[in-house]
Amino acid sequence: MPKMPTAAPAATDFPRPLVTVDVVIFTLLHDSLQVLLVRRPDAADEPFAQQWALPGGFVDVQHDATLLDCALRKLRDKTGIATPYLEQLGSWGSATRDPRGWSATHCFYALIPAAAVRLETGASANAGAGAAQWWDVDATLNTALAFDHHTLLAAALARLRSKVEYTSLPAFLLDEPFTLPALQRTFEVVLARPIDKSAFRKRMLDGQFMQEAGVLPGAQGRPAVAYRLRDRSQATLFPRPFAAHGADPATGPGA
Amino acid sequence: MPKMPTAAPAATDFPRPLVTVDVVIFTLLHDSLQVLLVRRPDAADEPFAQQWALPGGFVDVQHDATLLDCALRKLRDKTGIATPYLEQLGSWGSATRDPRGWSATHCFYALIPAAAVRLETGASANAGAGAAQWWDVDATLNTALAFDHHTLLAAALARLRSKVEYTSLPAFLLDEPFTLPALQRTFEVVLARPIDKSAFRKRMLDGQFMQEAGVLPGAQGRPAVAYRLRDRSQATLFPRPFAAHGADPATGPGA
DNA sequence: ATAATAGTGTCTTTTAGACAATATGTA
DNA sequence: TACATATTGTCTAAAAGACACTATTAT
């Protein structure tokens, strides 16, 4: 706790940083991993006006009971989704990341099925929000974003890719019901590498996180068995990673 | 970003939460995993006066360039250690965790060798700090701590235990140079279960994160080869976990 | 020599990966 | 039937676990 001589000002008198929450929202669209970005408002006193940014903003101490509630609210506002897979990524704070002053953001990431989304187009009354739009993740990594959002996005992607090596996370990107081949394609898109079919199926079925839900015909060929997730709130952990993994699963943010 | 009608108050006029950083500092002492706690100051306006708490406190926007710097400062103040293994655990924020108002803490955890520590005894001039003291982790989990620090400690311990399944993390708890049997005992203490000697040695040596540094005689029996870490800033990842792991490595805080 | 601890070798088990083979739908 | 895709089976490879065995020090 802060150093204070005997009759100092109360700790709560310290200058307070700005506190925000940002959410990296992933989905699978057109066989590619996409992230939701919003356009920053165009006002004179707004930093990074007109630039693309992650959905997020200040914690509302009147209405947000917790950081998680705040993240859920922002996600609901932009996508209409109330029960996403949502996980905290970490926090980033520094004197320089926001031109308005010392600022700390609490960053979450979410995985949602594209079909469930009703995009906030931005023409609404409670604006401040420009258009929300899906962006291809790899393309976005080569783009300048507002604030340090490029760093947040890169960290979220690293976390996702790392966890895909040993969890069932990509299942949350799919609409239900889905087939095993579709799930495999999702894994392959996220990992950006092919996976052996037989090994993949053994792994998923042994994981016991799905239950059968009829069959789904494809465009051609034999229809596939359809599945639903048993629990959309938590990923299943596999006993081993797919292969020698590279990045640290749990290490998050730096500054 | 926040909803605002055209001529609203600037975003920076929002009421700001309190922002703190807390650090869970682990070491190995007397063959047990220990955590550093400090006594809360005894002042009328201080919440949780006299109770034990994690080292931490408000971000100092004048002196802390980043959250990480803030965590390093607090760790240095309490232990004298400037270059620990330090990793962010996550953040917790809510309207109720601090009686003084809406508060968010950024929690880090550190692993340090006991011998390197020079404990801040609390009698110093820059007080506010009561005594700092090592506590057995398992005992502490059955104790009431200030704020939600019990939750933070439990999360840090869960993160540590989970990462021990597939990383070289426990090596950071040891003084250098250390022996392989000592490292194995450290793993066993953290995991609270025995590990097979042969498998353990293969794993560590294959990991290539140590270099030989002479031999160290034990109390009895054959002396053991001594090792130093090649890189004290980063843990090594093993290709597979020790066994079927239980807890989610990367999932952190909730609210 | 004996006790104690360090270090090695061998066998088994598990599961991923490669890849061939079979099954089932549609045109 | 031909084709495309789903699903299964068999073999191999890599690494962890179990556990017996050897090595090196002090007394």
- Region A13-18: mean pLDDT is 90
Q: How confident is the model over A177-197, as pLDDT tens digits?
A: 999 999 999 999 999 999 999
Measure B236 CA to D22 C1' (Å). Answer: 31
Cis check for the bond before A177: say yes or no (omega within 30 of 0).
Answer: yes
pTM of the predicted protein model: 0.91
Distance CA B59, CA A101 (A): 13
- Report domain extents, chain B: 18-163, 166-229
Confidence of residue A11 (pLDDT cuts 50, 70, 90): low
DSSP structure class, residue B4: -
* Top-confidence residue, B156 or A13: B156
Give the chain B residue nearest A237 (alpha carbons): B248
CATH superfamily ID and name for A18-163? Nucleoside Triphosphate Pyrophosphohydrolase (3.90.79.10)
- Please state which of the ranges A26-40, A53-67, B19-33, B114-128 shows the lowest mean pLDDT: B114-128
From the list B102, B216, B239, B116, the residue with the least C-alpha distance to B168 is B239
> CB under 7 Å from any atom of strand C: which residues?
A 195-199, 202-203, 206, 217, 220-223, 238-240, 242-243; B 179-181, 197-198, 201, 218-225, 244
Measure B90 CA to D17 C1' (Å). Answer: 35
> Tell me, what's the pLDDT at A194?
93
Q: How confident is the model over A198-222, as pLDDT tens digits?
A: 999 999 999 999 999 999 998 899 9
> Tell me, what's the pLDDT at A49?
87
Average pLDDT of chain A, as a whole number: 88
CATH of B166-229, one of 1.10.940.10, 1.10.10.10, 1.20.1740.10, 3.40.50.720: 1.10.10.10
Q: How confident is the model over A147-187, as pLDDT tens digits?
A: 999 999 999 999 999 999 999 999 999 999 999 999 999 99
Mutation for A interface: B14, B62, B91, B165, most A CBs within 10 A: B91
Same fold, A18-163 and A166-229: no
CA dihedral for A236, A111, A19, B86, sign (positive or negative): positive
Measure A180 CA to D15 C1' (Å). Answer: 28
Distance CA A146, CA A49 (A): 8
At residue A27's C-alpha, the angle toward residues A23 and A30, to 5°, is 145
CA distances from A243 to A164, A249, B166, B238 (A): 11, 14, 13, 11
pLDDT in tens, chain B (255 residues): 444 444 445 667 789 999 999 999 999 999 999 999 999 998 888 899 889 999 999 999 999 999 999 999 999 999 999 999 999 999 999 999 999 999 999 999 999 999 988 886 655 444 445 689 999 999 999 999 999 999 999 999 999 999 999 999 999 999 999 999 999 999 999 999 999 999 999 999 999 999 999 999 988 999 999 999 999 999 999 988 886 434 344 444 433
B57–A11 CB contact, under 8 Å: yes
Distance CA B41, CA B57 (A): 12
Distance CA B107, CA B87 (A): 9
